Amino acid sequence: MPHLKRGDAKLYYEDDGNGPAILLTHGFVASTGMWDGQVEAFKDRYRLIRWDMRGHGRTECPDDQAAYGQDITVADMVAILDHLEIDKAIIVGHSLGGFMSLRLNVMHPERVSALVLQGCGPGYRSDDSRAKWNERVDGRAKTILEDGYKALGGAAEVPVSIQRSSQELAMAARGILAQVDAKVIDSLPHIDVPTLVIIGAGDSYYLQGSDYMASRIPGAEHVVVPDAGHGVNVDQPEIVNKAYEAFFAKAA
């Protein structure tokens, strides 16, 4: 299984298909398995690279909180593109992966040809809102350590994913899921690449954030998928793949 060594970490990734490159980043408590339906649907026309964030799936990371962070995660995404000699890609992210895709666009817009933001929000502008979010994140980390990640439940993308340890997931929560600044939400009006915002109609926690992003990103397409929750691409793969197919054809 392919891994890319990054200091003391070993990033797991999969590289399938040929054509315009698409980088797929999963959400919190998910992994590469959540993208099986998209890889199967598009690998005959596109090059699909999916990977496991630190603390998730088959990626190996040191037992050190300092090894986890949002900017570290962006650097990991760039390192994978560099390793595979991909100058620019369509960047697709689900939930936390969607937020990190936006952050990648903030820090390295030259690597982004288009964005797909699935079941995610843009973060928070105020310090108070970020502090409240981070309190919830710390609570999730404690629950993972005490009861295991399965105690969190989760949407359809979680059962099709694998995890290494509760300890690593808790560090990922505190290091990557926690909010640090307003760079992402402030960037929305300045995004100048084709963008698809897609979400399940039952994903109540992120519907408002999805609407907000679609209204702030110039020219963004917005798709709300019926009879789907947070794991929209697993709940309704045919509808999601149809939306992806139309968007990829224009963006590529």
Per-domain boundaries in the chain: 3-251
Q: Quote the pTM value.
A: 0.96
**Separation of alpha carbons 218 and 214, rounded Å:** 8
Q: How does residue 200 score in pLDDT terms, banded at 50, 70 and 90? A: very high
What's the pLDDT tens digit per position in 20-74?
999 999 999 999 999 999 999 999 999 999 999 999 999 999 999 999 999 999 9
Can you point out the beta strands (E) in the chain?
Answer: 3-6, 9-16, 21-25, 47-51, 89-94, 112-118, 195-200, 221-225
In sequence order, the β-bridge partners of residue 13 are 51
* Contact call for residues 56 and 163 (beta carbons, < 8 A): yes
Q: Does domain 3-251 have CATH number 3.40.50.1820?
A: yes
User: Tell me: the pLDDT tens digits for 92-135?
Assistant: 999 999 999 999 999 999 999 999 999 999 999 999 999 999 99
